[in-house]
Chains A and B, each alone.
Chain A
Amino acid sequence: DIQMTQSPSSLSASVGDRVTITCRASQGISNYLAWYQQKPGKVPKLLIYGASTLQSGVPSRFSGSGSGTDFTLTISNLQPEDVASYYCQKYNSAPLTFGGGTKVEIK
């Protein structure tokens, strides 16, 4: 099965910073990659699918890129409401594996 590895596992940044989270697949998955945001105590929310397509209603400061095995989620102007854990997920074929998650905090 394909493994999904996220880095870093946690980060601390200042409001207004540009933040980048990476996700690596152990084999190529084309662009079948989604990103989710989970705020503390809340349900996960879809941010990006198809590696780079922003889900409706998601702020434009979120963006995704990549294809094949290497992907990135970028938050261009970190806001206090972005404090959350972020997960990547492959969905080219089951198992629909998630990455281990990245916890984003405000410095």
Chain B
Amino acid sequence: EVQLMESGGGLVQPGGSLRLSCAASGFTFISYGMSWVRQAPGKGLEWVSVISGSGGSTLYADSVKGRFTISRDKSKNTLYLQMNSLRAEDTAVYYCAKSTGTRRDDAFDIWGQGTMVTVSS
């Protein structure tokens, strides 16, 4: 069964850092682009970042550029999101999502269950 499982969320103070992880199973991890998508409480979906299957190509939403870093470890079948200089407006459920095909930029056919990040003093 194809599965994604996020971890690493929690409560962090403004200006702090957090690293999210997304463990993938049931598919050939290096063949697919992966993204992070977030959803603030009561709000819509916001795409955050994407990484190619090889890890050689990444892109970020303007709202997180320069503060967040996406990466992946093919030996561990795990996707990461390093979040620095966190702000209150980063408070959201963070989902990892798998690209449908082998293009980096693609629709998302599999989503994790999400992990909550709360930025507050």
Contact = CB atoms under 8 A, between A and B. Distances in A.
Nearest to A43: B111
Interface of B: 35, 37, 44-47, 50, 59, 61-62, 95, 100, 104-109, 111-114
Interface string A12-45: 0000000000000000000000101010000111
Query: Closest 6 interchain pairs by CB?
Result: A34-B107, A94-B59, A49-B107, A101-B44, A98-B45, A96-B47
Contacts of B100: 46, 49
Contacts of A36: 45, 108
A49 B106 CA distance: 9
A91 interface: yes
16 contacts: A34-B107, A38-B45, A43-B111, A44-B37, A46-B108, A49-B109, A89-B45, A89-B47, A89-B107, A91-B105, A91-B106, A96-B35, A97-B47, A98-B45, A98-B46, A101-B45
A99 B45 CA distance: 8
Nearest to A47: B107
Given A44-B95, A46-B107, A87 B112 contact: no
Contact of B105 (A46, A85, A87, A93): A93
Contacts of A97: 47
